[in-house]
C-alpha cells in the first residue's frame, strides 16, 4: 500500500522570484484568478496610474498568471491594490489576454465574496444578511452587496455600476463580408459594440463559438477603424473593449435574452458579461424599451449561465444621460494555487496558441 504523500513544499524555483499565490473563482463559468500574495508593489498615485505602471513594468506577471502553461487564452485575473479613494475598501486591476480592462462585472461579483471571506472589509454586524464592499475599479467606484450569514458570504452578489450610457445608436458601420449595418455602442464601465447575430447570418444560441468569435471580431475591428470612441471624463477609458452579439430581443420580456461577448484578443466571456449587461441595460433604457427597476435576465450562449440587471436610477456622465445599473450573479470558489518560476525556463513568462 502506497504511503500518503506529505503536504508538499514548493518545488525548486528562482530565489529572486517569489511564488505567486492565487485563489481561483468563477462567475457564471467565467474564470477569475485573484492574486493573494507574491505580486510586487504596483506604483502610482492613482488607480489609473497603477494600471499604466503595471502595463509598462510588470506585464510579465500578467502573462505568467494568465497564459499557458499556468492558464489559457481565455483566463482572467485580478490584482488587488490600495485605492486613493477614501470610501473604497480595495482597488483592483483587471487582467486579460491582451492587457488591462477598465471594468469587469463578473470579477466584481466574485471579488465581493472574496473581500468579505478574506477579511478585506469590516465584519458585518451580527445577524446582517448583506455586506457592502466598495471596489475601486479603473472606471470608478463600484458598490457590491454580498449576501452573508454569520459573517461569511453565501448566495448571489449584486453590484451598482458607474454611470452607464448609450454612446451611439444605429451607427452605420461597413463590416467586411457583410456590408453596412447598424451597430449600437454603449458604456457600462467599458465600451462595447452591440449587434444582433442574425445580421451576421448567425444564431447566437446555436452557432459554433468559432463562427461567433470571427463575426464579433470583424465587427470590433470595423468599428475601431471607422468610429472614434471618446469617454467624456477620461482618455484612459476611451477604447472599444469588444463586441457583444445578441439574439436581437431588446424589447422587455420576462424571458432571458441571450448574448455572447468577445473582447480583448478574441477572448470569449463564458458568463453573460457583467459590464456588458450594464451597457445593454443602459442602451435599452435609452431606447425606451426598459423602465427604471424593471429587471431583465441575460443568458450566456456559451454556458447558459444567467445574470439579472435593472436600471435603478438616472445619472449623468459628462453631457450624457446615464443610469446606474444593478447586476446580480453567482460566483463560486474553485481552488488555490502557488505558481513558481525556474530561472532557466525559456517559457517562464507564458505563451498563447492562436
Instruction: With CA atoms as reference, report the closest residue to 311 among 166, 112, 128.
Output: 166
3-class SS at 327?
A: strand
The C-alpha atoms of residue 104 and residue 189 are separated, in whole angstroms, by 8
Question: What are the phi and psi torsion angles at 340 (to 5°)?
Answer: -125, 170
Question: What are the phi and psi torsion angles at 96 (to 5°)?
Answer: -140, -170
Does residue 39 carry a catalytic annotation? no
The C-alpha atoms of residue 101 and residue 95 are separated, in whole angstroms, by 6
Nine-digit cell string for 319: 453631457
Name the DSSP letter for residue 335.
E
The C-alpha atoms of residue 65 and residue 96 are separated, in whole angstroms, by 10
Nine-digit cell string for 245: 452579439
In order of 66, 97, 322, the CA distances from 86 in angstroms are 31, 31, 24
What does the buried/exposed string (b/e) look like for 128-140 if buried means 16 or more CB atoms within 10 Å of the residue's CB? eeebbbbbbbbbb
In order of 22, 122, 291, the CA distances from 19 in angstroms are 10, 28, 49
Catalytic pick among 104, 137, 148, 317: 104
- CB-based contacts of 284-293 (< 8 A; 24+ apart in sequence): 284/250, 284/252, 285/311, 285/323, 286/165, 286/166, 286/169, 286/186, 286/321, 287/166, 287/169, 287/250, 289/250, 289/251, 289/252, 290/252, 291/252, 292/323
The C-alpha atoms of residue 275 and residue 105 are separated, in whole angstroms, by 5
Q: Which residues are catalytic?
A: 104
Amino acid at each position: 500500500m502506497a504511503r500518503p504523500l506529505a503536504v508538499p513544499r514548493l518545488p525548486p524555483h528562482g530565489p529572486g522570484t517569489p511564488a505567486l499565490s492565487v485563489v481561483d473563482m468563477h462567475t457564471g463559468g467565467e474564470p477569475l484568478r485573484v492574486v493573494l500574495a507574491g505580486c510586487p508593489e504596483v506604483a502610482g498615485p492613482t488607480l489609473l496610474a497603477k494600471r499604466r505602471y503595471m502595463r509598462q513594468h510588470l506585464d510579465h506577471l500578467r502573462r505568467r498568471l494568465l497564459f499557458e502553461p499556468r492558464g489559457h487564452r481565455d483566463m482572467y485575473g485580478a490584482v488587488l491594490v490600495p485605492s486613493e479613494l477614501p470610501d473604497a475598501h480595495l482597488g483592483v486591476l483587471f487582467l486579460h489576454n491582451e492587457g488591462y480592462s477598465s471594468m469587469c462585472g463578473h470579477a466584481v461579483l466574485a471579488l465581493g465574496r472574496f473581500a468579505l471571506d478574506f477579511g478585506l472589509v469590516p465584519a458585518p454586524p451580527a445577524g446582517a444578511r448583506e455586506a457592502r464592499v466598495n471596489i475601486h475599479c479603473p472606471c470608478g467606484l463600484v458598490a457590491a452587496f454580498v449576501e452573508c450569514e454569520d459573517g461569511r458570504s453565501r448566495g448571489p452578489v449584486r453590484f451598482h455600476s458607474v454611470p452607464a450610457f448609450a454612446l451611439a445608436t444605429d451607427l452605420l458601420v461597413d463590416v467586411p463580408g457583410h456590408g453596412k449595418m447598424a451597430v449600437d455602442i454603449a458604456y457600462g464601465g467599458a465600451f462595447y459594440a452591440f449587434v444582433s447575430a442574425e445580421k451576421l447570418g448567425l444564431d447566437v444560441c446555436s452557432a459554433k463559438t468559432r463562427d461567433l468569435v470571427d463575426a464579433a471580431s470583424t465587427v470590433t475591428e470595423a468599428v475601431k477603424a471607422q468610429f472614434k470612441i471618446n469617454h467624456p471624463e477620461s482618455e484612459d477609458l476611451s477604447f472599444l473593449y469588444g463586441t457583444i452579439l445578441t439574439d436581437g430581443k431588446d424589447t422587455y420580456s420576462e424571458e432571458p435574452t441571450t448574448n455572447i461577448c468577445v473582447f480583448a484578443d478574441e477572448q470569449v466571456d463564458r458568463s453573460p458579461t457583467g459590464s456588458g449587461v450594464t451597457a445593454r441595460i443602459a442602451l435599452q433604457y435609452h431606447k425606451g424599451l426598459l423602465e427604471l427597476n424593471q429587471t431583465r435576465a441575460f443568458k450566456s450562449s456559451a454556458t447558459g449561465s444567467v445574470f439579472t440587471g435593472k436600471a435603478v436610477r438616472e445619472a449623468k456622465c459628462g453631457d450624457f444621460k446615464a443610469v446606474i445599473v444593478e447586476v446580480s450573479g453567482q460566483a463560486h470558489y474553485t481552488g488555490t494555487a502557488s505558481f513558481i518560476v525556474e530561472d532557466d525556463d525559456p517559457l517562464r513568462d507564458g505563451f498563447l496558441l492562436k
